[in-house]
């Protein structure tokens, strides 16, 4: 080993040194520099902006949700040989704290901008104008939009309030100084500084709007606070962080927010397109199952028979690849494409049906008010157990089940209502709520058809779960 190291060293010493023929550039890049950054810049920003920043606290009244039977009672019944009654559930009516967030005042009469996720699910919203104030103002929701994560709330102040002036995110440049205001972890009226790291950062899972990236510290509680430039103008709304790293925060560009404010105040929501379809992602496994190779897109898993999509001729299992020439590579991108399509006008859907490309013209309607579907209590429905000891039970959806599960009207495919613990189905990943579309590559319309197609060996099920199409292989025990 020593001899080897010595030989390497000797070879290195013996190697000829070649003269550098071209000198490296030494002149620095030309910079168009402005005035020196004032030493008291961030002091003045703090004085100007903090009075317009508010602390938001939310709470919710616990709902008296039905609970399942305590398994301990079964053991006691076997032990004592008598029927045991489950004690009544205690009601809790006192509001329970949910979280803290930030907002900023944009109008003297108490109109406040914040993130939708700050106030989502809240029964009560309280606003504190300053950290030292003992006054808590009751706020009402003026408008909210989940996909852009923007909400407007309003309080009734005792006097005119200090407001934050909305600037322009379009004029923002990478490298520009910015300051983030908020209440990180409940520490009221905190300020951090940094630069704009990037613009137009597209993260569809977080927001449909491309975001501003900054290294100004943004932490839980900063959500909904303003991102401000050195002129004291709001250029963004603090929204999210990348938990995997430090110094990666995101803000919603204020130009996008300004476009939303009038509609949120007038209608309470953003009008979005609607075609009446439930969707799933065409992931690689599903594409392979369908013989589509590396094709990407969104799969229509269910259709409202009275909805715009069904009336236009779309079908279940159609794979949408673009809307109005805008590529679709996932269910989320299809939702955004339909949402942004002009309401009351025809949109061009490029689809693949039975491996053949087609174009379908769909008249886009306005999305109805969102409801909160409730899960069905599956035990009150008689289901059909799978044969061959596979360990799952399915049921044909009735109108009541479709309503309670939030499923499309007219949906007929069977739903999994039970999977036995440690069963073949459970180990394979089948879950309660899965809608069975195919069994062993054959489409099914009801429970009877699904159970008839099951066989010894490996059974391949294609199911719809939330917004995804999944392939599940269940081996008979």
Please tell me the predicted confidence (pLDDT) of residue 429. Answer: 84
pLDDT digit string (tens) for 115-138? 999 998 888 899 999 888 888 999
- Helix (H) / strand (E) containing 55: strand 53-60
pLDDT digit string (tens) for 59-78? 876 654 444 555 555 544 55
Say if residue 299's pLDDT is above 50: yes
The 3-state DSSP class for residue 96 equals strand
Sign of CA dihedral 170, 176, 181, 186: positive
Please tell me the predicted confidence (pLDDT) of residue 250. Answer: 92
- Averaged pLDDT, 240-263: 86
Say if residue 8's pLDDT is above 50: no
Say if residue 421's pLDDT is above 70: yes
Residues of the chain within CATH 2.30.42.10 domain(s) are 273-366, 378-475
- Helix (H) / strand (E) containing 308: helix 308-312
pLDDT digit string (tens) for 157-203? 988 999 999 999 998 999 999 999 988 766 778 899 999 999 988 88
The 3-state DSSP class for residue 132 equals coil
Q: If you search the block for the tokens 């009207």, which residue do you land on? A: 409
Q: CB neighbours (10 Å) of residue 310? A: 21
Catalytic residues, by residue number, are: 117, 149, 223
At 416, give phi and psi (nearest 5°): -75, 120
Residues of the chain within CATH 2.40.10.10 domain(s) are 177-267
Distances (CA, A) of 29 to 11, 225, 242, 472: 40, 36, 32, 58
**CATH number of the domain located at residue range(s) 177-267 in this protein:** 2.40.10.10
Is 253 in contact with 261 (CB distance < 8 Å)? no
150-154 and 177-182 strand pairing: unpaired
Q: If you search the block for the tokens 């909210």, which residue do you land on? A: 144
- Helix (H) / strand (E) containing 72: helix 71-80
Separation CA 58–CA 88 (nearest Å): 29
Cβ partners under 8 Å of residue 244, min gap 6: none
The 3-state DSSP class for residue 80 equals helix
By percentage, how much of the chain surpasses pLDDT 70? 79
Please tell me the predicted confidence (pLDDT) of residue 3. Answer: 40
Highest mean pLDDT among 135-144, 217-226, 242-251, 298-307: 135-144
Say if residue 394's pLDDT is above 70: yes
- Reported as half-sphere exposure (CB side, CA atoms, 13 A), residue 104 has a value of 31
Please tell me the predicted confidence (pLDDT) of residue 70. Answer: 52
- Averaged pLDDT, 17-26: 63
CATH 2.30.42.10 is right for the domain spanning 378-475: yes
- DSSP character string of 157-218: -SS----PPB--STT--TT-EEEEEE-GGG--SEEEEEEEEEEEE--TTT-SSPEEEE-S--
Is 67 in contact with 86 (CB distance < 8 Å)? no
Please tell me the predicted confidence (pLDDT) of residue 236. Answer: 95
Say if residue 443's pLDDT is above 80: yes
The 3-state DSSP class for residue 327 equals strand
Separation CA 211–CA 169 (nearest Å): 10
Between these two residues, 457 and 368, which has the higher pLDDT value?
457
Separation CA 264–CA 257 (nearest Å): 10
Q: If you search the block for the tokens 């007038």, which residue do you land on? A: 266
Say if residue 418's pLDDT is above 90: no
Residue 180 token pair: 């983030």
- Averaged pLDDT, 299-310: 86
The b/e string for 200-239 (b: 16+ C-beta within 10 A; e otherwise) is ebeeeeebbbbbbbbbbbbbebbbbbbbbbbebbbbbbbb
Q: CB neighbours (10 Å) of residue 88? A: 6
Residue-averaged pLDDT of the chain? 81
268 burial (CB, 10 Å; 0-12 / 13-18 / 19+) is middle
pLDDT digit string (tens) for 80-96? 455 555 555 544 455 55
By percentage, how much of the chain surpasses pLDDT 90? 40
Q: State the CATH class of domain 273-366.
A: mainly beta
pLDDT digit string (tens) for 253-298? 999 999 999 999 998 988 889 999 888 887 777 777 667 777 788 8
- From its phi and psi, is residue 429 left (phi > 0), alpha (psi between -120 and 50) or beta? left
Between these two residues, 207 and 114, which has the higher pLDDT value?
114
Is 379 in contact with 313 (CB distance < 8 Å)? no
pLDDT digit string (tens) for 343-359? 999 999 999 988 899 99
- DSSP character string of 26-45: -SPPP----SPPPTTHHHHH
Sign of CA dihedral 8, 11, 13, 19: negative
Distances (CA, A) of 181 to 102, 196, 212, 237, 403: 8, 15, 15, 10, 43
Q: Identify which of 313, 276, 312, 317 has the alpha carbon closest to the alpha carbon of residue 297.
A: 317
459 burial (CB, 10 Å; 0-12 / 13-18 / 19+) is buried
């Amino acid at each position: 080993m020593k001899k080897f190291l010595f030989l390497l060293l000797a070879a290195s010493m013996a190697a000829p040194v070649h003269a550098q023929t071209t000198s490296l550039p030494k002149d620095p890049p030309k910079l168009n520099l402005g005035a020196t950054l004032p030493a008291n810049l961030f002091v003045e920003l703090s004085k100007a902006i903090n009075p317009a920043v508010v602390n938001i606290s939310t709470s919710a009244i616990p709902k008296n949700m039905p609970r399942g039977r305590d398994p301990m009672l079964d053991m006691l019944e076997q032990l004592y040989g008598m029927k045991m009654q489950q004690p009544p559930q205690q009601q809790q009516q006192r509001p329970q704290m949910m979280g803290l967030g930030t907002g900023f005042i944009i109008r003297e009469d108490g109109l406040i901008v914040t993130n939708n996720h700050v106030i989502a699910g809240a029964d009560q919203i309280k606003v504190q104008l300053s950290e030292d104030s003992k006054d808590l103002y009751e706020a009402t929701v003026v408008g909210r939009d989940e996909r852009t994560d923007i909400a407007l709330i309003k309080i009734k102040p005792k006097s005119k309030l200090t407001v934050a002036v909305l600037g322009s995110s379009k004029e923002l440049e990478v490298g520009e100084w910015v300051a983030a205001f908020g209440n990180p972890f409940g520490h009221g009226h905190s300020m951090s500084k940094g630069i704009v790291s990037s613009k137009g950062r597209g993260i569809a899972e977080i927001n449909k709007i491309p975001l501003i990236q900054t290294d100004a510290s943004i932490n839980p509680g900063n959500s909904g606070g303003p991102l401000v430039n050195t002129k004291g103008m709001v250029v963004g709304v603090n929204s999210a962080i990348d938990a995997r790293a430090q110094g990666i925060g995101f803000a919603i560009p204020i130009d996008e927010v300004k476009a939303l404010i009038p509609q949120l105040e007038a209608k309470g929501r953003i009008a979005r397109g609607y075609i009446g379809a439930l969707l799933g992602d065409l992931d690689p496994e599903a594409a392979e199952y369908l013989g589509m190779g590396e094709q990407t897109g969104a799969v229509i898993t269910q259709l409202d028979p009275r909805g715009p999509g069904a009336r236009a001729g779309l079908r279940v299992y159609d794979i949408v690849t673009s809307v109005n020439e805008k590529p679709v590579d996932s269910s989320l991108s299809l939702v955004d494409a339909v949402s942004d399509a002009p309401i009351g006008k025809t949109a061009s859907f490029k689809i693949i049906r039975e491996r053949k490309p087609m174009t379908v013209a769909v008249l886009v309607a306005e999305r109805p008010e969102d409801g909160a579907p409730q899960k069905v209590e599956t035990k009150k429905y008689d289901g059909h157990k799978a044969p061959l000891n596979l360990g799952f039970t399915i049921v044909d959806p009735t109108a009541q089940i479709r309503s309670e599960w939030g499923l499309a009207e007219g949906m007929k495919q069977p739903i999994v209502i039970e999977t036995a613990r440690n069963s073949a189905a459970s180990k394979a990943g089948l879950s309660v709520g899965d809608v069975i579309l195919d069994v062993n590559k054959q489409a099914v319309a009801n429970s009877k058809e699904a159970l008839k197609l099951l066989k010894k060996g490996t059974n391949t099920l294609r199911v719809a779960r939330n917004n995804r199409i999944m392939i599940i292989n269940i081996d008979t025990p």
